[in-house]
Amino acid sequence: MATTTSHATNTWIKTKLSMPSSKEFGVASNSISLLKNQHNRQSLNINSSLQAPPILHFPKQSSNYQTPKNNTISHPKQENNNSSSSSTSKWNLVQKAAAMALDAVESALTKHELEHPLPKTADPRVQISGNFAPVPENPVCQSLPVTGKIPKCVQGVYVRNGANPLFEPTAGHHFFDGDGMVHAVQFKNGSASYACRFTETERLVQEKALGRPVFPKAIGELHGHSGIARLMLFYARGLFGLVDHSKGTGVANAGLVYFNNRLLAMSEDDLPYHVKVTPTGDLKTEGRFDFDGQLKSTMIAHPKLDPVSGELFALSYDVIQKPYLKYFRFSKNGEKSNDVEIPVEDPTMMHDFAITENFVVIPDQQVVFKMSEMIRGGSPVVYDKNKVSRFGILDKYAKDGSDLKWVEVPDCFCFHLWNAWEEPETDEIVVIGSCMTPPDSIFNECDEGLKSVLSEIRLNLKTGKSTRKSIIENPDEQVNLEAGMVNRNKLGRKTEYAYLAIAEPWPKVSGFAKVNLFTGEIEKFIYGDNKYGGEPLFLPRDPNSKEEDDGYILAFVHDEKEWKSELQIVNAMSLKLEATVKLPSRVPYGFHGTF
């Protein structure tokens, strides 16, 4: 029997969420027609949305959101009103007057925005529907039911990050905009516990104190003239001391890395946050982490931990001012190197990069930031068709960027790079990544079907030329592969296997694929009927094992028919299900994890 030490705090998703039921959707073979909505918008037609499945599923609230069994529900609306009163009571008359005026302007702006259909990339009814919807925090639940047997080597804590908005969106919202929430399963001697907690970012803390969202949402709101207006409102609140943006505005919802005895939660718009796992398996935010004052800029969500040296390598990008891109590293003891400026002409979307034994591989691709597009009424995230994608190769211990070598890779956009290694006999760097088309489909509305092709990119350091090919050559076996990893003990070295999410039907994940990177052979593990998951995590059984695939795959899986979630543990060599841990509450689809 599972036992709960205390009861989950409920959120707006239980008491306030208002979404159209499935009856309010006219469903055709390739389109969805939204017939009515609470804001009296025009009808919204979604044609084969890249950001939503062909049929949106809005389960009933009773099955969608779990309620503590004794029905003791703490309503944040009341809590937030109290905390809001406490916060605003400290304001002087000028601040109170400014707050009222700015709130009135924001209300008028929101009303104006909702008079027009939102693009599906910013419509919360699309972005956070079904199991993409948020959940309340869940304190530790011990002794979870287990089917099968948890392998002996699975000892420790599996943690996964995700976007989980605390407050109901009032206007535009992209899935990536949600507040960070970490889900943790702790394994001890064949038993498992579960907890999930918000990462208490400075943004979240201030919004909780005010009782509502006030920080602008980077993707869902910051586009066009209304985006400029929201930025002006935000900084006006800062000038009057109503909010403090000097301590960061990030959501820490994307990546996780365990480095130098600290678990760090990250998104590329801020510094990392230190999250502590307690002995009981609960989670506690220790605070914004600047490596003892050494890190003074943002850090991307995918730093690379070298399995041999124990060093951490990272990038930082700026969308406003030069230098637009910087590279740095940390020793295994947490000592930061000097920043190395990477010369790029425009601010570039830099979600991921790669390392080899001796080099860092830095993509400079066609998705760029152009803030001037907001003045023209568009999105600042732009697909620049005139730009030629390229990869930069730099010595890992370079003190400056003078020896950086660029190799062009035309028409290539990899949101994620899974690994890279050196092949000295041919003077090549081999990069493994998923090439995505259209490149900006995640951020901007697009009718073209998304493809994510696992690819081998070879960068010849002698000739300066590149080649690119699909690793899975049989077109009948080609599937969208996104989110995953290689054996972390082989990162930066030649690897035979990659374990990647089968992102079909997009944006859901129906299973994972084990791909032989040398032969292109693909083996698939499907989670089950009406079951979908996310990123597969490969956990080595023994770091000294001679077999690269000797280990287990861990993945959160949600049953959309029964509306229950579980953690599946799969033998990576045989692809046989070893154990299933039944979870006490729903786990939304999310982003990246670690163990």
Query: What pLDDT shows up at residue 24?
Result: 29
The mean pLDDT of 201-207, rounded to a whole number, is: 94
Is 245 annotated among the ligand-binding residues?
Answer: no
Query: What pLDDT shows up at residue 66?
Result: 37
* pLDDT tens digits along 209-218: 999 899 988 8
Q: With bands split at pLDDT 50, 70 and 90, how would you rate the model's confidence at 225? A: confident
The mean pLDDT of 319-334, rounded to a whole number, is: 92
Most confident of 66-75, 79-88, 141-150: 141-150
- 585, pLDDT greater than 70: yes
Let me know: does 324 contact 344? Beta carbons within 8 Å: yes
What's the DSSP call for residue 78? H
Distance (Å, rounded) from C-alpha 181 to C-alpha 183?
Answer: 7
Is 416 annotated among the ligand-binding residues?
Answer: yes
Query: What pLDDT shows up at residue 382?
Result: 80
Is 225 annotated among the ligand-binding residues?
Answer: no
Please count the other Cβ atoms lying within 10 Å of the Cβ belonging to residue 252. Answer: 32
The mean pLDDT of 291-307, rounded to a whole number, is: 94
The pLDDT > 70 percentage for the chain reads 84
Give the helix ranges, DSSP H, for 18-133.
61-64, 76-88, 93-113, 124-127
The mean pLDDT of 262-277, rounded to a whole number, is: 94
What's the DSSP call for residue 348? B
Scored b (16 or more CB within 10 A) or e, 404-430 reads: bebbebeebbbbbbbbbbbeeeeebbb
Is 7 annotated among the ligand-binding residues?
Answer: no
Identify the weakest region by mean pLDDT among 3-12, 252-261, 321-330, 432-441.
3-12
- 1, pLDDT greater than 80: no
- 118, pLDDT greater than 90: no
Q: With bands split at pLDDT 50, 70 and 90, how would you rate the model's confidence at 447? A: low
* pLDDT tens digits along 22-52: 332 222 323 322 223 333 333 333 222 223 3
DSSP secondary structure letters along 245-270: GGG------SEEEEETTEEEEE-TTS
The mean pLDDT of 323-328, rounded to a whole number, is: 92
The mean pLDDT of 355-382, rounded to a whole number, is: 85
pTM (predicted TM-score): 0.84
* pLDDT tens digits along 488-535: 999 999 999 999 999 888 889 999 999 999 999 999 999 999 999 999
- 68, pLDDT greater than 70: no
Query: What pLDDT shows up at residue 444?
Result: 62
CA distances from 267 to 65, 177, 263, 300, 408 (A): 26, 10, 14, 6, 28
Most confident of 8-12, 13-17, 475-479: 475-479
Query: What pLDDT shows up at residue 83?
Result: 54
Per DSSP, the three-state class of 105 is helix
* pLDDT tens digits along 547-576: 999 999 999 999 999 999 999 999 999 999
For all residues of the chain together, what is the average pLDDT?
83
Token look-up 């590149």 returns 466
Let me know: does 404 contact 464? Beta carbons within 8 Å: no
Query: What pLDDT shows up at residue 88?
Result: 74
Please count the other Cβ atoms lying within 10 Å of the Cβ belonging to residue 67. Answer: 16
